[in-house]
């Protein structure tokens, strides 16, 4: 087996990274994201940074 063949075999058998799936509830993501934005804005306002 050559170095190129070994490299191709090694990269093709790698496992996935375990990242987020695309089949989750998108509305929940949007609600949690906007909640974070609002809480961050309230913190910035209360701290007098704006």
CA angle, residues 33, 29, 35, in degrees to nearest 5: 30
Q: What is the pLDDT of residue 16?
A: 73
Distance CA 5, CA 11 (A): 10
Query: Do the Cβ atoms of 45 and 38 come closer than 8 Å?
Result: no
Q: Give the model's pLDDT for residue 31.
A: 94
pLDDT digits (tens, 9 = 90+) for 5-50: 655 555 556 677 776 666 677 899 999 999 999 999 999 999 998 7
Quote the pTM value.
0.50
Residue 38 is predicted with a pLDDT of: 97
Residue 18 is predicted with a pLDDT of 74
What are the Cα distances from residue 23, in Å, to 10, 18, 26, 42? 29, 14, 8, 32
- What's the rounded Cα separation, in Å, for the pair 25 and 21? 10
């Amino acid at each position: 087996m050559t170095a190129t063949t070994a490299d191709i075999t090694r990269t093709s058998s790698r496992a996935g990274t375990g990242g987020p799936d695309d089949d989750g509830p998108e509305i929940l993501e949007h609600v949690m994201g906007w909640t974070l934005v609002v809480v961050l804005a309230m913190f910035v306002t209360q701290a007098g940074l704006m």
